[in-house]
Amino acid sequence: MTRVAAIDLGTNATRLLVADVEDGRVDEILRRTRITRLGEGVDARRRLLPGPIARVRNVLTDYRRELEELGAERTLAVATSAVRDAENGEAFLGEVEWSYGFATRLLTGDEEAAMTLRGVGPLEPGTVVIDVGGGSTELITESFCTSLDVGSVRLTERYGDDWNAAAAAIRILLPPLEATRVLGVDGTTAELAALGDGLGATLAEIDDVLAWLRSSTQDERRARLVEPDRSEVLAAGVLVLRETLHHLGLDRVDASDRDLLNGAALEAAALPAPGEGEAPPGAYTCC
């Protein structure tokens, strides 16, 4: 058994999973999510900005402390859409490695989809996995995957409150695909589930949530959400789910309790063991 930590440097959220991995099984010890909006401004400027980088670094400092206290032997931090799109993305990852001692990996869209599928595990026939991120959305089956440049942060920054324009932009990118079930592995689906039966959401419930998001105040939204800081971009993520369900002719999305982080944990367990005398994660500091 190996205790590992996996970190997702996402466009909207920075997430942590500490888990014990043995024989391909991931037993969760701790899971954390902090909304850091690393991808703020990346769609327009193609650079990670100083403010978002500082937010992520503050969270990584907290995560490093927690994973060390829990005895994680290896840590893998994976980066997705915002870091892919940013001209200074690889430099940012180099700084993360140097400052925190984490192994890092910049994932292509296909690699992100494959790692998510590995984390979710074998799919029932007819299931399509959807991962609505801040910058991109992955659609995944056992034999097909695609990464679309639509996500909650990107759509919000491009279209603001013009939901019709955002929905049209989503529809243009959706590929031909047949499915009998949609499994959501993202924070948007988790929020929808928490607002409803805890298991997922129907199209009717999604429409009700969109109506509530349109009519509610920021304070009212923050009071009801599991992750209040997601409130500013939640509507765009819900639109991606709604348009995907319409595209597939399905009425419901189910929420998964396994996702990209589970796949990253399996990858972390395969990392080389730290060498004798090697500085542990957290031994590095940077200005």
Residue 278's pLDDT is 52
- Residue 250: pLDDT band with limits 50, 70, 90: very high
Are 248 and 214 members of one domain?
yes
Specify if 57 maps to a domain: yes
Are 14 and 140 members of one domain?
no
Specify if 115 maps to a domain: no
pLDDT in tens, 84-110: 999 999 999 999 999 999 999 999 989
Q: Report phi then psi at 171, rounded to 5.
A: -60, -35
Inter-residue contact 18 to 3 (CB < 8 Å): yes
Are 182 and 250 members of one domain?
yes
Are 97 and 154 members of one domain?
no
Inter-residue contact 21 to 38 (CB < 8 Å): no
pLDDT in tens, 126-184: 999 999 999 999 999 999 999 999 999 999 999 999 999 999 999 999 999 999 999 99
Average pLDDT, the chain: 94
Are 202 and 138 members of one domain?
yes
Lowest mean pLDDT among 10-19, 221-230, 272-281: 272-281
| % of the chain with per-residue pLDDT over 70 | 95
Check pLDDT > 80 for residue 7.
yes
Are 224 and 132 members of one domain?
yes
- Residue 281: pLDDT band with limits 50, 70, 90: very low
Check pLDDT > 50 for residue 286.
no
Specify if 280 maps to a domain: no
Check pLDDT > 60 for residue 16.
yes
> What is the domain range of residue 249?
122-257
pLDDT in tens, 49-60: 999 999 999 999
Cα distances (angstroms) measured from residue 27 to each of 24, 47, 117, 164, 259 = 10, 36, 17, 42, 13
Residue 234's pLDDT is 97
Are 103 and 175 members of one domain?
no
Are 248 and 137 members of one domain?
yes
Are 241 and 265 members of one domain?
no
Task: List, in order, residues 6 or more apart from 80 with CB less than 8 Å away.
Answer: 8, 9, 10, 11, 107, 112, 133, 135, 136, 260
Instruction: Please give the angle made by the CA atoms of 104, 110 and 111, to the nearest 5 degrees.
Output: 25
Supply the CATH number for residue 46's domain.
Answer: 3.30.420.40
Number of independent structural domains in the chain: 2
Specify if 287 maps to a domain: no
Supply the CATH number for residue 127's domain.
Answer: 3.30.420.150
